[in-house]
Amino acid sequence: MKKLIVAVAALAFTALSHAAQAQNYPVRPITLVIPFAPGGSTSIVGRGVAEKMGELLGEKVVVDNRPGAGGTVGTKAVAKSDPDGYTLLLGYTGTLAIGPSLYKNAGYDPRKDFAPIGMIGNAPNSLVVHPSFPAKSVAELITYAKANPGKVNFGSAGAGTASHITGEYFARAAGITLVHIPYKGTGPALTDLLGGHIPMAFAPIPASHTNVAAGKLRALAVTSSARSGLLPDVPTIAEAGLPGFDASLYYGLVAPAGTPRPVIDKLNKALHAALTSEEVKRQLGNDGTDITPGTPEDYADFIDKDEKKWAQLVKASGVEQE
């Protein structure tokens, strides 16, 4: 009986301690780890949300880009960091849904090692080519690739990223062979594409659309099941001849597992307020991100479903990383 009383008292003390921590939180700057190089869609989305959340929380949310191994380096680092609410991660399809099944040892479990804060939104990838590339449609690209097997390169944000697996998914669905050229982030991949060093890439719309609008790149298709409001004249890959093709990308915020629930709730409230603010809605909307805020439980359920979907695509692609 005495042990039970001690245990209950300890739980009560912990609950009160967490509540007090949340009430005072934050008392110093928060670090938001974006596990990719600057310049890509994750940075565009993460920086927009971080700035507004910092205003709402009264402390800066400092962005820390940590690229490497398809985003798994930065993701693993957050999974192993202190669960005190001062180190957060920009969750992403490439890291929470693809990485765990693509890498033999990603170093983290998307369900067990993180405390979901909330979803931010989603955006499709775009299939973009250099203006000098002869194909002006998906059908022409497929025909060209079949006539030139193994001679068409495509760039991605890195081995194992969503843009990489989307490219493998596309090649398999189209019955063609493409040569993958990995970069350390979407930004570097687009830099080489703009320079004509590679002919094509799969890149998130938030990172590619300004160059498409300026005529520096040509968009052949988007990878979602519906057209993008930012590129309404660009067909989906499904429309362009590969029925059922769908590879949308999702963003959210997570903290290390064990982060006190009151802190998670405070962060979720700030995230929701940021996403419903006019400036963030305008900024992300202008970059092609469909905002979908929700509860931590909503995001946890989504992470589970999204990982199962992409695990099947990774298996079907036959791609595996060390």
Residue 10: per-residue pLDDT:
45
| Crossing angle between the packed helical segments 2-24 and 261-275, to the nearest 10 degrees | 30
| Crossing angle between the packed helical segments 261-275 and 296-317, to the nearest 10 degrees | 80
pLDDT above 70 covers what percent of the chain? 93
69 — pLDDT class (breaks 50, 70, 90): confident
9 — pLDDT class (breaks 50, 70, 90): very low
Range from 6-15, 211-220, 252-261 carrying the lowest mean pLDDT:
6-15
AA letter at 174: A
Residue 248: per-residue pLDDT:
85
135 — pLDDT class (breaks 50, 70, 90): very high
pLDDT above 90 covers what percent of the chain? 69
Mean pLDDT of 41-52: 92
Residue 37: per-residue pLDDT:
87
Cis peptide before 296 (omega within 30 of 0): no
7 — pLDDT class (breaks 50, 70, 90): very low
Mean pLDDT of 60-88: 95
pTM: 0.80
Mean pLDDT of 249-273: 97
Report the distance separating Cα 27 and Cα 59, nearest Å.
7
Residue 58: per-residue pLDDT:
97
Q: What does the mean pLDDT of the chain come to?
A: 90
CB 270 within 8 A of CB 57: yes
The runs of H, that is alpha helices, within the chain are 2-24, 41-57, 72-79, 99-102, 138-147, 162-174, 186-194, 205-213, 261-275, 278-286, 296-317
Residue 11: per-residue pLDDT:
46
Residue 17: per-residue pLDDT:
52
Count of Cβ atoms closer than 10 Å to residue 55 Cβ: 16
Strands 114-129 and 200-204: antiparallel
Strands 87-92 and 30-34: parallel
| Sequence-distant contacts of 18-22: CB under 8 A, at least 24 apart | 18/260, 18/261, 18/262, 18/263, 19/262, 21/84, 21/85, 21/260, 21/262, 21/263, 22/260, 22/262, 22/263, 22/265, 22/266
Residue whose tokens read 């920009």 = 90
Please say if the pLDDT value at position 20 is more than 60.
no
32 — pLDDT class (breaks 50, 70, 90): very high
Mean pLDDT of 191-210: 93
Residue 1: per-residue pLDDT:
55
Report the distance separating Cα 243 and Cα 235, nearest Å.
12
44 — pLDDT class (breaks 50, 70, 90): confident
How long a stretch of residues is the chain?
322
